[in-house]
Chains A and B, each alone.
Chain A
């Protein structure tokens, strides 16, 4: 087990480096020049002069050949320095340190809501398979993953924010300064984000549980006379958890990078909007830094998931050792 874990960890490190390098390369190939973005604005009537463009480019270190820029970036990386933003000279590390926890708070709560709700609903649907309850629940789950999150998000802002005024709109309050207000403003975006995920988890749960309900070892348990709840809990859920865990693991990673829409609509100052704006502005160091950090986190989560597999399903553990 330990050898397995160590091997995977080493592979993870290499993977992070590969991803970071690929992103570096791709960014340089993207059309669009950050210097022009910096020197202009959406309605800039004054043209920057060519010597301005050259000077700014040199000041930002963008006139060096890509290989050299890459070398410098790697050197900094080893010292755990992610560089400074091209756009506003702030430390990328500081930016990420500020924005990442905000996104994580949102994601963790959303995932918890979605998994809890999804498993419960999916289980219920599987148990009542073929009945109207199943139809209703499956319909609800399908609805959750059918409606785009930005539509539900905007609707929620309209209904709960403007009309009912149950929750505030924008004006972000960090958790450290006022936990109560923070919790209130977390509700809408977390629910909007959870809605889609809930549908996915619910359906996977339902499908998985249905799969497993007829497997050999379940029939064995049943024939031994074990009660239904015990059968469910001990055998069915345990193995059904594998695809659920897979999906959640996969979705978690996607969530980290993909909450742009929710963060945009609810003015939630997280890492997705930082990344998106940085891409729009061709702010290379910020994009590289964010992708590096998020991919490292994702790989870590994968590692945890893989190890969880091994714990959950003994059959896999021994195969992993060979």
Chain B
């Protein structure tokens, strides 16, 4: 018998629905608007919402609704891609290191240290300088920068879980290391890792907007939420709603991802289920 309050279920459903909408916008933006996000209407810059432009226009007279709808894809791509890279690589390093596999332990902690010493801007500038900016490069940069978040957490969690009964039982049975890792350790540390993944996805979106703010992220004229916020900030005093729309959408998306991450956490963790 689940002890969940209805409020909780509603929240999760709403979040899931919103994330689905955003995914839809990323894949098929035409469902949301017929307008071209790149088309300028120089006669109506900063048009207020209404009057043919549902959310208003930006400094070039481009339709804001279109900019936001089309902006979903790069933001999601960067967030998902970088978290996938960081999560996969970081978790492996961390688990192997925490379990005590020689070399990996040092690699786990030291590589995290080295990466974290690099100011994100410096790394971003270097890679963007060579390869040019763009979604793919952002995924590499942010993914690389986030590896420590996963490796350190996996390391610490693996350490904590190493001596627990599940693991001891598996080892006593003589299971090979890989199996112990996969069956006994990983599921027990997956919880915090998933929370971390949702946090990292959120913060990857924030970092992308920060990098776009500095001119190192997704480049104009392509829209991305981060870039929209960065640009809109310059015009906050004239047109406050210009910065509101992408901020709201970005925040709502992140919030939804976090909520779903929470629900996933509850579902995956056998000890968290009440009654067990």
Contact = CB atoms under 8 A, between A and B. Distances in A.
Please tell me whether chains A and B touch each other in their complex, using a CB distance cut-off of 8 A.
Answer: yes
A23 B122 contact: yes
B239 interface: no
Interface in B40-68: none
Contact of B117 (A155, A196, A246, A291): A291
A161 to B, nearest CB: 12
Contacts of A250: 116, 148-149, 152
Given A154-B233, A246-B153, A315-B159, A142 B117 contact: no
B255 interface: yes
A254 B192 CA distance: 20
A246 B195 CA distance: 14
Contacts of A170: none
Contacts of B251: 143, 146-147
Nearest to B110: A15
Contacts of A299: 113, 117
Interface residues of A, number: 66
B30 interface: no
Interface of B: 3-5, 7-8, 11, 100, 110, 113-114, 116-122, 125-126, 129-130, 148-149, 152-153, 156-157, 159-160, 162-163, 191-192, 195, 199, 202-203, 206, 209-210, 213-214, 226, 229-230, 233, 236-237, 243, 247, 250-252, 254-255, 258-259, 262, 265, 269, 271-272
A135 B116 CA distance: 33
B160 A18 contact: no
A135 B119 CA distance: 35
23 contacts: A22-B114, A23-B122, A30-B130, A130-B5, A135-B7, A142-B259, A143-B255, A145-B202, A147-B251, A200-B203, A203-B199, A207-B192, A207-B195, A246-B153, A254-B116, A254-B120, A257-B122, A258-B121, A260-B214, A261-B210, A275-B121, A291-B118, A315-B163
For chain A, what secondary structure do more than half of its interface residues adopt (helix, strand, loop), or is it mixed? helix
Contacts of A105: none
Contacts of B121: 257-258, 260, 275-276, 279
Contacts of B258: 142, 203
A242 B229 contact: no
Contacts of B202: 145-146
A50 to B, nearest CB: 24
A243 B150 CA distance: 11
B201 to A, nearest CB: 11
B255 A148 contact: no
A181 B271 CA distance: 52
Contact of B247 (A145, A148, A309): A148
Contacts of B243: 151
Contacts of B259: 138, 142
A208 B192 contact: yes
A313 interface: yes
A19 interface: yes
A210 interface: yes
Given A208-B192, A243-B153, A291 B122 contact: yes
